Each structure stands twice: as C-alpha cells, then as structure tokens.
Amino acid sequence: MNTSGKTVFVTVGSTKFDALVDALVCEDVVETLRDCGFVRMIIQSGNSEVKTIHGASINEGVTTALVHGIQVVVWKFKKSLQDEYEKADLVIGHAGSGTIIEVLRLGKRMIAVPNETLLHNHQAELAEALESLNYLITCSTK
C-alpha cells in the first residue's frame, strides 16, 4: 500500500449505518477526498451492507479496491480501532460518544455524522454541541 499521502478512516461503530458507508464510496465524495490529498480510505463497516465496489477483491473478509484514484479498504470489525485512529489524518464516523472521545483525545480532525436511525437521535445533540465549541465538524448523509 502507498505510504505517502493522507488517510481517512471511517467508522460506523458496532451498529449498522448503511447511509454513511454508501455516501463515502460515491464518486463525488471520493473525488473530493482525492483532490484534498487523500490516497487511502479505510472503512470499518460494522454490520452495514456495503454495495459492490467495481473491481474490488475480497480476501479473508477484507475488501480492497481502487476507487477514483483512492485505495479503499473495507472490513467489519477489529478488537481495537486505536491504530486506525492514530494513522488517520481525518476520521469520519458516527457520532457515538466513545468514538468522539477517542478521536479527540488523539488530537485528530473529525467529521461526526449522526446515525439518525438510532433512538432519540442522541448522536445529533452531542455532535452539534461539540461543533459549536469547534471540536469537530458535523454533517448528515443527505
């Protein structure tokens, strides 16, 4: 894998967040990331359904593909995401409190995307509060 250039790490946590995974492998998003100097996107997909990525290869549950000039690697779970957070130049993830705390403790840039399918939409409240304090950026999958 190319070690120069920037890496974005995407995490959906332990649940299912199809909308986030789908949004991040779309052409517009991938091209924007590429134009910003990103060469790798690592996606922890959890229980999400990952659409077929053209030209992808699958080996021991890990999907890899070159998508519009970015190396995309997709896997479901690991015991710890610490190494992925540390290697990432940007983390895009669900707005779960545990994920946000881990990423911010490392001083990483984060885009938090609340999973609006979860009960009471508590992720949106947390993400919006932290965005108002300039700790992260929040957005939706729409």
Placement of tokens 């300039």 in the chain: 134
| Contact status, residue 129 vs residue 114, Cβ threshold 8 Å | no
Helices (H), the chain: 18-24, 27-35, 82-87, 97-105, 122-132
Residue pLDDT, tens place only, 33-72: 999 999 999 999 998 877 767 777 778 788 888 988 899 9
Residue pLDDT, tens place only, 75-110: 999 999 999 999 999 999 999 999 999 999 999 999
Alpha-carbon distance of 86 to 36, in angstroms, equals: 19
Which of the four pLDDT bands, split at 50, 70 and 90, describes residue 1?
A: very low
